[in-house]
């Protein structure tokens, strides 16, 4: 198989007293995203998309929240492991596309920085990282952030 697609989804609740980090970028906001690690909803969704594309175990299986080792961990560690599994399987990332769903903060002012960091982590040009943000109108999820991610992989020659 020359191409593979992976899909990832994650959500975290906003909680006071936690720094907010989305896509590896710290954002000024009164609340951060709760989670066992740093709660980076975007990197978690991307990690699961990469793992799913090569039929690897999901993020929760590889980095269980019950393991104190991952308490407060930088989610880039998870993404790097997923990328390592992609490469070991003989694939390379072609592109990724992500959608964030959250009421606040506005992502537009931070989109380029997030795309640049994700591109750097994945080793792809910035024009291979899509990022959109939507508000959760009518979903009653104003106190949460949701991320969807899809990845396209190509078999290395």
Radius of gyration of the chain from its Cα atoms, rounded to whole angstroms: 15
For residue 156, pLDDT beyond 90: yes
In the chain, where are the structural domains located?
A: 3-155
Which pair of tokens denotes residue 80?
């790097």
| pTM of this structure | 0.96
pLDDT of residue 36: 86
For residue 1, pLDDT beyond 90: no
Q: What is the CATH number of domain 3-155?
A: 3.30.1330.50
Contact 91, 83 (CB under 8 A): no
Which pair of tokens denotes residue 135?
């508000």
> pLDDT tens, 58-113?
999 999 988 888 988 999 999 999 999 999 999 999 999 999 999 999 999 999 99
pLDDT of residue 28: 95
């Amino acid at each position: 198989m020359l191409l593979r697609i992976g899909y990832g989804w994650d959500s975290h609740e906003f909680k006071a007293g936690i720094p907010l980090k989305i896509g590896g970028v710290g954002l000024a906001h009164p609340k951060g995203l709760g989670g066992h690690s740093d709660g980076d909803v975007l990197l978690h969704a991307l990690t699961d998309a990469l793992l799913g594309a090569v039929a690897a175990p999901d993020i929760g299986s590889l980095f269980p929240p019950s393991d104190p080792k991952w308490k407060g961990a930088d989610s880039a560690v998870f993404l790097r492991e997923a990328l390592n599994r992609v490469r070991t399987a003989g694939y390379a990332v072609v592109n990724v596309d992500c959608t964030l769903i959250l009421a606040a903060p506005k992502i537009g002012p931070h989109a380029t920085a997030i795309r640049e960091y994700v591109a750097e982590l994945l080793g792809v040009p910035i024009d291979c990282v899509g990022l959109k943000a939507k508000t959760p109108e009518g979903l009653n999820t104003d106190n949460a952030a949701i991320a969807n991610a899809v990845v396209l992989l190509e078999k290395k020659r």
